[in-house]
Amino acid sequence: MIYDPSNIFARILRGEIPAHKIYEDADTLAFMDVMPQSNGHVLVIPKAPAVSLDDVDPQALAQLIRVVQKLAPKIRDAVGATGYRLAQFNGANAGQTVFHLHFHIIPMYAGVPLRPHTGKMGDQTEIKRHAETIRVAIGA
């Protein structure tokens, strides 16, 4: 698949669409999922264009996973979760809906099931509140 520079994550990177950003460095961006499956659901993307693991530069992937590893436990702790799930999809048949490589960091709470991915936006006030809490916890 050829990378489409008009995908929503590319547009977020260019500042054309707002996002609740929680972390950014020269190579990566982390922001709140607007359709969260749990409180504190974050997406981490490379700034370099890549559709999936199939076409990402290995150095960009290494930096991306370093950021995921650094942020995941801090997000878990910031939102009071008891664990976290990482998810990454490659291709439409695998569940990928935005064709820009990304990792989901999904906080998990004891006895609380994940919300289904229905395509409906979450409560933006609540998402913003979680973003602020996470930013404080990671020192952003």
Counting the structural domains of the chain, the total is 1
Asked if the model's pLDDT at residue 43 lies above 80, the reply is yes
Q: In whole angstroms, give the CA distance from residue 95 to residue 48.
A: 22
Domain with 39, as residue range(s), is 8-110+120-138
| pLDDT value for 119 | 80
- Does residue 1 form part of some domain? no
Q: Is 11 exposed, middle or buried (0-12, 13-18, 19+ CB in 10 A)?
A: middle
Asked if the model's pLDDT at residue 1 lies above 90, the reply is no
Catalytic residue numbers read 102
- Does residue 2 form part of some domain? no
Q: What is the pLDDT of residues 94-103, one digit of tens each?
A: 999 999 999 9
Phi-psi region of 98 (alpha: psi -120 to 50; beta: other; left: phi over 0): beta
Q: What is the pLDDT of residues 71-117, one digit of tens each?
A: 999 999 999 999 999 999 999 999 999 999 999 999 999 999 999 88
Quick one: average pLDDT of 29-35? Answer: 98
- Does residue 3 form part of some domain? no
| pLDDT value for 140 | 72
Look up the CATH number of the domain holding residue 36: 3.30.428.10
For residue 120, name the pLDDT band (cuts at 50, 70, 90): confident
